Amino acid sequence: MKRAASFTTTVSPDDGSALIDDDDAGPYSFASNNASTSSFSSPQLTRSDSTVSVPFLDLSKLMFANDFDFGLNLNDVSDNTRKRLSSMKMKTRQKLHGKNIDLDKLQAVINQSLQKFDQRVHKNLVSSSTEKAFYAFSVFLIFCAGLIIGKYPIYFPHFHTALFVLLMPIRFYTYFKQSFQYYLADLCYYVNLLLMLFIWVFPGSPTLFVSVFSLSLGTLSWAVITWRNSLVLHSIEKTTSSFIHFVPPVTMFVMVHELPADYIKQRYPGIAAIDSWNFAASILTTSIYYTIWQVSYHYFISIRKKDQIDKGRVTSFQYLKTKNKSTPLGKFVNGLPYLWMQTLAFTLIQFGYQLLTMIPCPIWFKYKHACGVFVSFIFIWASYNGATYYIDVFGKRLEKEVDRLKREVENLQQEKEKLQFSPVQQPQNSTVEDFKQLDDENTDIDLKENVPNGKQEKLSTP
């Protein structure tokens, strides 16, 4: 029999729209043919037809071949038996052909459904109505966060989890759509995942708590300043970026300083096990978790996906190399002769930055008000970046639109002047009598040109 057609994964190397993009992704994936990082074509399921490469397997020849003599020989069978075998072969081929047609129809239906789904999601994410609704929703969430922290602090981890479950699928969709999926392997997402593991899976692990606390109030908090995260409430993308950097430090502050001691012992024994902050032990523990992420990142991204990156996929390493190429540190990293040297230098710089941001963590753990002031400072900084975005970016955009409108008006004015001073002018505000008079004059001229000289006067006189 023919082997049934199988689904295979095809991912365009120049596009970031693949939802499953590694080599061992499994039987199903989305693919796109768009090489741009700012645009996206709807995903399509592709299918390889195995009947093209695998020939029809004649079981009768296999069973009754000379090498497998089971006491029967095709030469000895009757004509009726041969006809029956041929009839069975034809029926089998017809059935398989019908199944292939059904698979093609199924593929077309799936492709059409995926295209419609992608168009609906994309339209909803970029529409002005959605942005207005999300702005109101973001303000409401800030209100709810303040209310929960002040009145019901034990539910703030649940509130954080609900936001995480809501925003992360949108972030995955938009980043894969824009070819930014390798950013999803950055440290900030790793820390958010560790925090979810501590809250719901390993609440009794002191080492996991110390690492999450150090990374949240260290790298993630200061990343709001270094990466210029903006709290732009109408933008789902920018609000999500602020969420993954800012909300984990707030959650750590609430869990350490706002929850009742008895509740901490019962619900989060890993926090209760830390009586005093051991700076050396915290550096060692956090470094272990950090090394796990860094090694995994470079193996799965820098090594396994090297071909994809060389063909245009964007990573944070490439972004920082390009952004900081004019700075002394960037010139040093880019000036190294080999890529592995640049990667090692970048890793060591990141590790040093992590250790530097961890230095104040004992203060944030011991003193509630100092930690609260620091978290508030980070929130104000993100809000200031958002205000800068609204005023500067929107203001410049409006200014560009006004300039474009001025240029269009000037071009129209120039075209109008050219028409006015052209050699052939059309009569303006002409009446019906004017057109009749012009027509009579033209008729009179034509008659004069087509009659003898002696009769011109007679014909032209009414």
**Residue 75, pLDDT above cutoff 80:** no
pLDDT in tens, 131-167: 889 999 999 999 999 999 999 999 999 999 999 999 9
First to last CA, the chain: 101
CB 343 within 8 A of CB 317: yes
Computed over every residue of the chain, the mean pLDDT equals: 75
Averaged pLDDT, 271-285: 94
Highest mean pLDDT among 26-40, 69-83, 319-333: 319-333
Q: Where are the domains of the chain?
A: 6-125, 127-382, 431-462
Q: Give residues with Cβ within 8 angstroms of 86, minimum separation 6.
A: none
Cα–Cα distance for residue pair 259/152, rounded to 1 Å: 9
pLDDT in tens, 97-123: 655 556 666 667 677 776 776 666 666
- The predicted pLDDT at position 296 comes to 92
CB 190 within 8 A of CB 344: no
SS3 state of residue 229: coil
- The predicted pLDDT at position 439 comes to 52
Cα–Cα distance for residue pair 236/385, rounded to 1 Å: 16
Residue with the larger pLDDT of the pair 210 and 437: 210
Which is nearest to 45 in space by CA: 112, 101, 120, 97? 112
Q: Which of 43-52, 222-231, 256-265 has the lowest mean pLDDT?
A: 43-52
- The predicted pLDDT at position 367 comes to 96
- The predicted pLDDT at position 226 comes to 87
At 72, the pLDDT band (50, 70, 90 cuts) reads very low
The answer, as to whether pTM is greater than 0.85, is: no
pLDDT in tens, 170-204: 999 989 888 888 999 999 999 999 999 999 999 99
Burial of 403 (0-12, 13-18, 19+ CB in 10 A): exposed
**Residue 56, pLDDT above cutoff 50:** no
Residue with the larger pLDDT of the pair 309 and 251: 251
**Helices in 76-205 by DSSP H: which ranges?**
79-126, 128-151, 156-177, 187-200
Structure tokens at 310: 């060389």
The crossing angle, in degrees rounded to 10, of helices 187-200 and 156-177 is: 150
pLDDT in tens, 383-428: 999 999 888 877 777 777 777 777 877 777 777 667 666 554 444 5
- The predicted pLDDT at position 96 comes to 59
Structure tokens at 219: 């790298």
- The predicted pLDDT at position 198 comes to 97
* Percentage, residues of the chain above pLDDT 70: 65
At 325, the pLDDT band (50, 70, 90 cuts) reads confident
At 124, the pLDDT band (50, 70, 90 cuts) reads low
